[in-house]
């Protein structure tokens, strides 16, 4: 009889930990060293703490903490105990957190110690049973409690389709939706990327991305964990620090802003990249100028890939073979990608259409939104990405735009509708339109165009200060302009294209 295989993602990682368990898994800037044994034991302790709470299967563990090795251990512990990890951007403010906690109803919330007061209030109101704290300095009630737990823990048995994580992502309209990702969604993508990007013995990942989105939590960390590779763990991206650490690293991943900022570092040159094997870019379009300047400065060609919270990675430039600037590359093995016109027919070479995807990487649906989920899939099971692109004659995909009204600023997504709703609620505001305009550092910057009520005296400065209290800081418009009226088409719809053109160069 076949023994059933445990599809728990943690089991996959554990099977690939290096034979030398005292080797380094994570090293911090302050010289802290976490061996694979440390990871095994510490994640067991946190998993045992979670298990001791007697939570029902499928319980969500919502986490809003600063980046630290312990934050990654908490993620691994959640997998190991068989619960569902729900990471939250540290920039989110009270109203945003209240929405996520209210919607996901987590059994456990873990927050930064300084936020305990307001987060606990929100969590207890939503019937969350347990609120722990975790700082980026190895303190907080989570670790205080976990330290007394046994350092061995069996990996919970999970099926391939069981949920491993929920990632909130805003859709085309309305509030954020929780994309439900299974153990197999994540495992299959990690395995495909390990092959595609030629992860190899001796690789060292320089980890500078945040841990609450697909790029830093899954693509980067999973690559190193599955390969048994060391991670140099930086608390956040800092150009000068990255330049210092590159000579000890072989793999780096970042959003385009990281590459723009690296190129602005005078010490960033061929010498500091001499040990590097791979630079990966994603989450937002990498400008051709950046791609070209990087080759000239370092001799390395950035490998650009394309992903989404709902699908993790779907397309990538090849490791061997041409990495084409301005293109996101070829569909990954096992992933089917097509470009479709308005009539639902497959587009020809160089013909622009909507990008759709099907494969083991595609999520299980939006949390408690079966209708929304159904709307985003075609009859034959393809997920409609909302991105617009074209295939060239050799099968390389280029993203040429988005059918969804989305701004990507420094790799973070901003949905205009959400900002417009907050602006429209403000005293003296009649209506508003939020757009993205080209920005040299963030790729796109958020700009709000506001019509005031007659007689209202509005101040952009005061409005920005107010917005900073209400929404995550990366969503706050870099600029607010006042106009008498918004341009509209004959149907009465605001012409954002006109606004984008008008403010693009300012």
Applying CB under 6 A, the residues found at the interface with ligand MCA are 209-210, 213-216, 236-237, 255, 257, 282-283, 307-309, 409-412, 442, 473-474
Which residue, judged by CB position, is nearest to ligand AMP in the bound state? 309
CB closer to ligand AMP, 156 vs 166? 166
CB closer to ligand MCA, 240 vs 349? 240
CB atoms within 10 A of CB 121: 13
Is 387 a residue that touches ligand AMP (CB under 6 A)? Answer: yes
Using the rule CB under 6 A, give the single segment among 99-107, 281-289, 376-384, 493-501 that binds ligand AMP.
281-289
CB closer to ligand MCA, 143 vs 445? 445
- Say what angle helices 116-125 and 94-104 make with each other, to 10 degrees: 30
Q: Which residues, including other chains, have CB under 8 Å from residue 433's CB and lie 6 or more apart?
A: 416, 420, 448, 449, 486, 494, 496, 499
Q: Which residues, including other chains, have CB under 8 Å from residue 111's CB and lie 6 or more apart?
A: 63, 64, 65, 119, 120, 131, 132, 133, 134
CB closer to ligand MCA, 107 vs 167? 167
With CB cut-offs between 5 and 8 Å by kind, which of ligand MCA, ligand AMP, none does residue 385 bind? ligand AMP
The single residue among 399, 422, 433, 448 that binds ligand AMP, judged by CB under 6 A, is: 399
Q: Contact, 446 vs 436, CB < 8 A?
A: yes
How many angstroms from the chain centroid is the CA of residue 400? 21
With CB cut-offs between 5 and 8 Å by kind, which of ligand AMP, ligand MCA, none does residue 210 bind? ligand MCA
Beta strand segments in 8-95, E: 24-28, 33-35, 60-64, 84-87
- Distance in Å, CB of 328 to ligand AMP, minimum: 5
With CB cut-offs between 5 and 8 Å by kind, which of ligand AMP, ligand MCA, none does residue 206 bind? none
250 membership: H or E segment, kind and range: none
With CB cut-offs between 5 and 8 Å by kind, which of ligand MCA, ligand AMP, none does residue 473 bind? ligand MCA
Sole residue written with tokens 């418009």: 477
CB closer to ligand MCA, 324 vs 471? 471
With CB cut-offs between 5 and 8 Å by kind, which of ligand AMP, ligand MCA, none does residue 257 bind? ligand MCA
Sole residue written with tokens 């997504």: 413
SS3 of residue 298 by DSSP? helix
Of 79, 127, 134, 70, the closest CA to residue 101 belongs to 127
Q: Contact, 132 vs 119, CB < 8 A?
A: no
CB closer to ligand MCA, 90 vs 432? 90
Q: What φ, ψ does residue 472 adopt, rounded to 5°?
A: -55, 140
- Distance in Å, CB of 112 to ligand MCA, minimum: 15
Integer Cα distance of 442 and 438 in angstroms: 8
Q: Which of the residues 296 through 335 are near ligand AMP (CB under 6 A)?
A: 304, 306-309, 328
Hey, which residues does 398 pair with through a beta bridge? 390
Q: Contact, 208 vs 258, CB < 8 A?
A: yes
Integer Cα distance of 415 and 403 in angstroms: 13
- Distance in Å, CB of 256 to ligand AMP, minimum: 8
Beta strand segments in 201-282, E: 204-207, 230-233, 251-254, 278-281
Is 396 a residue that touches ligand AMP (CB under 6 A)? Answer: no
With CB cut-offs between 5 and 8 Å by kind, which of ligand MCA, ligand AMP, none does residue 387 bind? ligand AMP
CB closer to ligand AMP, 213 vs 358? 213
CB closer to ligand MCA, 17 vs 85? 85
CB closer to ligand MCA, 5 vs 264? 264
Integer Cα distance of 192 and 207 in angstroms: 20
The single residue among 178, 228, 285, 436 that binds ligand AMP, judged by CB under 6 A, is: 285
- Distance in Å, CB of 330 to ligand AMP, minimum: 13
Q: Which of the residues 116 through 145 are near ligand AMP (CB under 6 A)?
A: none
- Distance in Å, CB of 172 to ligand MCA, minimum: 16
SS3 of residue 472 by DSSP? coil
CB closer to ligand AMP, 25 vs 104? 104
With CB cut-offs between 5 and 8 Å by kind, which of ligand AMP, ligand MCA, none does residue 199 bind? none
- Distance in Å, CB of 285 to ligand AMP, minimum: 4
Sole residue written with tokens 């898994």: 25
Residue numbers at the binding site for ligand AMP (CB under 6 A): 169, 213, 282-285, 304, 306-309, 328, 385, 387, 399, 402, 408, 413
């Amino acid at each position: 009889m076949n023994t059933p295989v445990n599809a728990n993602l943690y089991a996959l990682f554990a099977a690939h930990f290096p034979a030398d368990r005292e080797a380094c898994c994570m090293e911090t800037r302050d010289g802290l060293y976490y061996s694979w044994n440390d990871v095994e034991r510490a994640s067991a302790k946190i998993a045992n703490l979670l298990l001791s709470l007697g939570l029902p299967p499928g319980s969500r563990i919502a986490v809003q903490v600063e980046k630290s090795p312990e934050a990654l251990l908490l993620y691994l512990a959640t997998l190991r105990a068989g619960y569902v990890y729900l990471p939250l951007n540290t920039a989110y403010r009270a109203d945003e957190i209240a929405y996520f906690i209210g919607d996901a109803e987590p059994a456990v919330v873990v927050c930064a110690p300084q936020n305990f007061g307001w987060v606990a209030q929100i969590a207890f109101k939503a019937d969350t049973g347990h609120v722990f704290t975790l700082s980026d300095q190895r303190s907080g009630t989570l670790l205080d409690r976990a330290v007394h737990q046994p350092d061995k823990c069996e990996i919970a048995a999970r099926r391939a389709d069981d949920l491993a994580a929920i990632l909130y992502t805003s859709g085309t309209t309305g509030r954020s939706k929780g994309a439900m990702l299974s153990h197999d969604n994540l495992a299959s993508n990690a395995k495909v990327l390990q092959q595609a990007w030629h992860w190899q013995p001796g690789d060292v990942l320089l980890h500078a991305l945040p841990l609450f989105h697909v790029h830093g939590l899954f693509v980067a960390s999973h690559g190193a964990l599955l390969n048994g590779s060391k991670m140099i763990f930086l608390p956040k991206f800092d150009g000068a620090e990255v330049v210092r650490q590159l000579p000890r690293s072989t793999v780096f991943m970042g959003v385009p802003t990281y590459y723009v900022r690296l190129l602005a570092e005078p010490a960033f040159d061929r010498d500091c990249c001499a040990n590097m094997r791979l630079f990966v870019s994603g989450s937002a379009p990498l400008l051709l100028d950046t791609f070209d300047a990087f080759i000239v400065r370092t001799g390395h060609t950035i490998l650009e890939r394309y992903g989404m919270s709902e699908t993790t990675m779907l397309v990538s430039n090849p490791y061997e073979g041409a990495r084409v600037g301005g293109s996101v590359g070829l569909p990954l093995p096992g992933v089917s990608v097509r470009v479709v016109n308005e009539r639902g027919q497959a587009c020809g070479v160089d013909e622009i259409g909507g990008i759709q995807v099907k494969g083991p990487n595609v999520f299980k649906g939006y949390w408690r939104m079966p209708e929304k989920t159904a709307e985003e899939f075609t009859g034959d099971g393809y997920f409609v990405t909302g991105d617009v692109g074209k295939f060239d004659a050799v099968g390389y995909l280029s993203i040429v735009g988005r059918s969804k009204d989305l701004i990507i600023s420094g790799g973070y997504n901003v949905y205009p509708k959400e900002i417009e709703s907050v602006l429209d609620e403000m005293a003296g505001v009649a209506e508003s339109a939020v757009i993205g305009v080209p920005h040299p550092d963030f790729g796109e910057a958020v700009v709000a165009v506001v019509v005031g009520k007659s007689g209202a005296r509005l101040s952009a400065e005061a409005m920005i200060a107010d917005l900073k209290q209400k929404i995550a800081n990366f969503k706050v418009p870099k600029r607010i302009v006042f106009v008498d009226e918004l341009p509209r088409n004959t149907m009465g719809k605001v012409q954002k294209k006109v606004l984008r053109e008008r403010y693009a160069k300012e």
